[in-house]
A and B are shown apart, each in its own frame.
Chain A
Amino acid sequence: MLGTARLTSLRDFRQAGISRRLAVGGAVLTVLALAAALVSLSLGPVDIPVAHVASIVLSAVRIELADVGRTEQLVIEQIRLPRILVGAVVGMGLAVAGATMQGLFRNPMADPGIIGVSAGGALGAVIAIATGATGLFFLALPTFAFVGALAATFLVYGIAAVGGHFSMATLLLAGIAVNAFLGAIVSTIIIVLPDNEALREILFWLAGGLDSRAWEHVQISAPLILAATAVILLAARDLNLLMLGDDEARAMGVRVGLTRAVLLAASALATGAAVAVSGTIAFVGLVTPHILRLVLGPDHRVLIPLSAIAGAVFVIVADTVARTVVQPAEFRVGVLTAFVGAPFFVLLLIRNKRRAQAL
């Protein structure tokens, strides 16, 4: 039995049954996520020992471990914890949407931004800032960004489905066109904007970041992203079949059009919610599923849930580095993921190419 065989290498692990890959991979990644969160909670301008962090977190469930200061408690509860949770949820949403897009496009290079979500979100946010709408109500910025993200997706999908015949190739091209067009509008706004403060704010937002994220941001993004992830998870086997081609999937009993529309909508929702609370954080959606696929294989029933956890780890770690390396200033997490993600990705490509040539 494969399930009981000793795992001597990653290659063997790839051959294990899906429950085993899920259990082992899930356990490893969950431990990583918890460790990353604990370390992240303790690091910052005020250093808080990990023991105190644990004590504060556990006090929420009425377990008192150590005496901790009121300041420490406030820093954890009101500043670091919500920020880390937003990061985790954003990473989850981006990675799950990335894995789904790569499956739908049958291309490991697809990114959640491909359907215009990021560009639409950016435009929404820029409009909110430029028009001063951000002053109207507390969550104006994420709301505008979210609406922009979904509107752009609808537009791209609408173009691809014109004439009642949906085409993934048109979707890709329409995504490129809409991205370029919305990007041009954003550039125009930036150029003509007289207000320097607003300009700074826009550039700051475009770079993607998790600074001063509060519980409200968790509340608006987490339900959407978790719901979208659940939907995608339920269609994971259908996505496996869709990867083999529309006709193949149809012949095996998949309702191709419906399944694809649901998966696209769920990905757009997850990405839109992530973009709304964090701006554009690059490379998480591309790199995370890519690496996991190398270890776990292409089955989305394994890939989707583990991408969710791995994406969370990725963003928590990146954000922790971003806010601690250049203290007291702050690096933008979106810039950092691009700085680290892009070269790492290139390394991966080169390594894979070498291996392919060696065969």
Chain B
Amino acid sequence: MTRVAPSTALRADDLSFRVEAKSLLERVNLHADRGQMVGLIGPNGAGKSTFLRAMAGVLRVHEGVVWLEGEDLAALPAKEVAARLALVPQLAPYTHGFTVRELVLMGRYPHLGRFEIEGSADDRIARDAMRLTETEEFEARTLDTLSGGERQRVFVSRALAQQPRVLLLDEPTANLDVLHKLRVLDLVRRLVDEGLTAVAAIHDLGMAARYCDRLILLSAGRVLAEGAPEEVLVPEIIESAFGVESAVYRDPATGSLAVSVIGPSAGNGVPPPAARVNGWSDHEDREADVVAPGAKAVRP
């Protein structure tokens, strides 16, 4: 077995995951160095959430190995994994009347022994996490009184309270308004510059290009393209993954890449599936979109 260099915070080797005959992940690879932010982009149902869940150890893949700081994730105790790696879910779960503060404090779980309760140090860490995500003002409220964006920030906050060295985010900005989208991504970027490693599924291609060091474009469970934003965000690649015609240019206002979608690609308006572009048979891949990556049935 190869020992992975410690500068690689997270590495996924050939992850494959199937539900019945359907392949949701097909030999997907990733490596993220310490202090890097990697963006996962791709159409709905491409396997981004499944991939993130596999790398968090929540979902056991059929083939492939996830290396967390050079160690096989599957061989590490769950608590040890959670002390190093945190996952921000795409949808906030139903929280049964726990207050924001209680939820954020739950992030301390992997750091506490069975006979310990949270002390003042944990309180301080939770408070810092809430301050960073601006959730402090509603710390005493329950989640059902908050907006979707506020909930999302609460779960970012809880992940930060875990004090992870690797942070996985599943569409962290999907429910956020423009301002909070910038604030959350600015925060993650700042933490990454301080040494955190982040892998984030991001829908907004422009945002992904602006904040990530590298992008991985997934389509139908496979890596379609990988590299610096300039290498991945190319009209031909975007067309093959999303089925749209687009223009990619450098935004003079932000200095980063921007993608303007012009319309469905020429022809019938149905996306030419990535699969065909690469010579794979396509009809199952389309159906993979229907299987929600978060669906309960996918656990083996």
Contacts and interface: CB of A to CB of B under 8 A. Distances in A.
Contacts of A245: 93-94
Contacts of A299: 98, 102
A244 B58 CA distance: 14
Interface of B: 53, 56-59, 77-83, 86-87, 89, 93-99, 102, 106-107, 109-110, 112, 114-115, 117, 140, 162, 294, 299
Interface in A101-155: 106
Given A240-B106, A243-B96, A253-B83, 5 more contacts: A245-B94, A253-B82, A297-B97, A298-B97, A299-B98
A254 B102 contact: no
A293 B109 contact: no
A55 interface: no
Interface in A4-35: 15, 18-19
Contacts, number: 71
B106 A252 contact: yes
Contacts of A298: 96-98
A250 B97 contact: no
Given A244-B93, A297-B98, A252 B107 contact: yes
A240 B79 contact: no
Contacts of B79: 253
* Chain A interface category by residue count: 20 to 34
A70 B49 CA distance: 74
A64 interface: no
A253 B110 contact: yes
B91 to A, nearest CB: 10
Interface in A254-306: 254-255, 293, 297-299, 301
Contact of A251 (B82, B102, B294): B82
Nearest to B107: A252
8 contacts: A106-B94, A245-B94, A248-B93, A250-B57, A251-B86, A251-B89, A252-B106, A297-B98
Contacts of B117: 18-19, 301
Contacts of B299: 165
A269 B112 CA distance: 28
Contacts of A252: 82, 106-107, 109-110, 162
Interface core residue of A234, A248, A293 (most chain B CB under 10 Å): A248
A241 interface: yes
Contacts of A293: 97
